[in-house]
Structures are given as C-alpha cells and as structure tokens.
Structure 1
Amino acid sequence: MSYLFGAGLQARVYERLAADAALSSLVGSAIHDGPLKPGPEGAARDYVTLGEESVRANDTNTSVGAIHDFTVTVHSARDGFDTAKRIAAAVCAALVDAPLTIEAGRLVALRFLRAGAERGPGPEKRKISMRFRAVVDAAD
C-alpha cells in the first residue's frame, strides 16, 4: 500500500462539496484547504476547510487498498451554533455514501465517524470538526 489515493480522494471531496447546492447556499464558494487568516475577510464569513488526514493500509490477498480518515471543519464568526450546525449537516449530506470517482481507485464506502463542536475567541467564535472515513481499493 502507498499513499496512492490521497490526492485523488481530496480532489473529489472538494469537488463534491463545491458542487453541492445546499452547502453553497450557506457558504457560497468558501471551501478551503486551510483556515483563513484573521482579518476582515475571514471574520465576517462562515466557511469550510478540508483538514487533517490519516491513512492506513487495507490490502487483501486480491486487492490493494487504504482507509482514509479525514477531517472537514466548519468555521463561523457567529455567536451561536445554529448556522454552523446547518453547514455541518449539509457537509454530511453531501459526503456520506457519495458516489465519488477516484483516480487509480474505487471508493468502496464513505462514512461519517464523529464530530465535535467548540466555542472559541473571535473572530472564529464557533468551529465544528467532522471526521469521515473513506475506504478505497485499487481500480480493477
């Protein structure tokens, strides 16, 4: 096993989120690889980031595969959790069991694992980090 599927999986997850109408109605095109820098741009917006990932081999006698656990985080400058939770729900609806086509591989499953909601100091007053698991096998 190698990190063969990492870039392709991230690209398809990003594309899926960016194309989702429900998520776009909440954050527009604000889907990023990392948190925005503090300042007027990031302070006034709700946005989503693709985050950390851990990968382990999932090879069998007949196939090469991997299990990717990755984080998607909702960031919000709002005082309450309502909007952040609606954004998180839209992310889950877009990703869970999504039929993603991955270069050099086949997505076997995409599941939600867990989430954590946190309060923080401004400008980012609310953050919800969600962990997902993608099981990928090499293309036949």
Structure 2
Amino acid sequence: MSAFLSDVLQAAIYDRLSTDASLAAIVAGHVYDAVPAGPMPDLYVLIGEEAVKDASDQSGAGAMHEVLISVLSTADSFLTLKQAAGAIYTALESAELPLSAGRVVGLWFRSSAAKRSNSGQRKIDLKFRIRTEA
C-alpha cells in the first residue's frame, strides 16, 4: 500500500476541492497542494500537513489520516475565509470521495481554528480524519 494511500487521498482531495463550483466562486480556483513559486493570491486554499496511522484489521490493510486544509488571506476580515471553509466542509462531507486505488470508508470533520498572524495574514485551519482501506 503506497504510503497508506496518502498519495491517492491527496490527489482525490485536490481534485474535489479544485473542481468544486462553490469553492471556486469564493477563491477563484486558487487551490494548491504545494505553495507555488511567485506572488500568492490574496485568498487561497492549501492542502497541507498529514499524519497517518496504521488502521489495519482482520478485514485487511487500512490507515487513518489526519489531514489539514488551510484557507489563507490578506483580507481585513475573516468572513470570506469562513465562507471558503464552509465550502470546503460541504465539498468533502457531501459526497463519497473516490480514490484511484483503495477506498475511503469514513470521513469526519475534526476541528477548525481561525488565526491572525503578526504580519496581518488571516488563516483558517480545518482538520479532517479520513479512514482508508486498500
């Protein structure tokens, strides 16, 4: 199992978020799984850190993924970030997340935190727990 299906899970999350019409209307298609070179847009989504634990059982190989997805902006308000966070939640929770290998057997929203940095950037981190099986 390729890194407990981390690669195909990340690809599926990226595909879902980058093609979601509601999210695109808010972030203008700025969804990244790696920070691109050059200047960043004023508002964007970044698929970030992931922690994976073995969750194999008698039925076969499996893994539990803790995935961080961030919405970042230079805006003065958290309102648009919260709207984008809501669209991310809806996009991931509303339909099955198909993988190119293995399958998602559970996806749960864990938490959200809104933060303001010293430089004035605003950020909302969303954490999801996702259970996969090979």
The answer to whether the superposition gives a TM-score over 0.5 is yes
Paired residues of 1:5 and 1:103 also in contact (CA < 8 A): no
Task: Report the counterpart of residue 16 of structure 2 in structure 1.
Answer: 16
Q: Which runs of 4+ in 1 moved over 6 A?
A: none
Paired residues of 1:112 and 1:132 also in contact (CA < 8 A): yes
SS at match of 2:3: coil
User: Does residue 134 of the first structure (1) align with residue 130 of the second (2)?
Assistant: yes
* Distance across 2 between alignment mates of 1:57 and 1:103: 20
Task: Quote how far apart the aligned CAs of 1:111 are.
Answer: 1.2
User: Does residue 58 of the first structure (1) align with residue 55 of the second (2)?
Assistant: yes
SS at match of 1:6: helix
The CA RMSD measured in Å over matched residues stands at 1.8
Structure 2: give runs of 5+ residues left out of the alignment. Answer: none
For 2:60, give the aligned amino acid.
Answer: S
TM-score by length of 1: 0.87
TM-score by length of 2: 0.91
* Distance across 1 between alignment mates of 2:132 and 2:36: 30
Fraction of identical pairs, as percent:
37
For 1:95, give the aligned amino acid.
Answer: L
Task: Quote how far apart the aligned CAs of 1:36 are.
Answer: 5.5
For 1:3, give the aligned amino acid.
Answer: A
* Distance across 2 between alignment mates of 1:32 and 1:97: 21
* Distance across 1 between alignment mates of 2:51 and 2:97: 19
Task: Quote how far apart the aligned CAs of 1:121 are.
Answer: 3.5
Structure 1: give runs of 5+ residues left out of the alignment. Answer: none
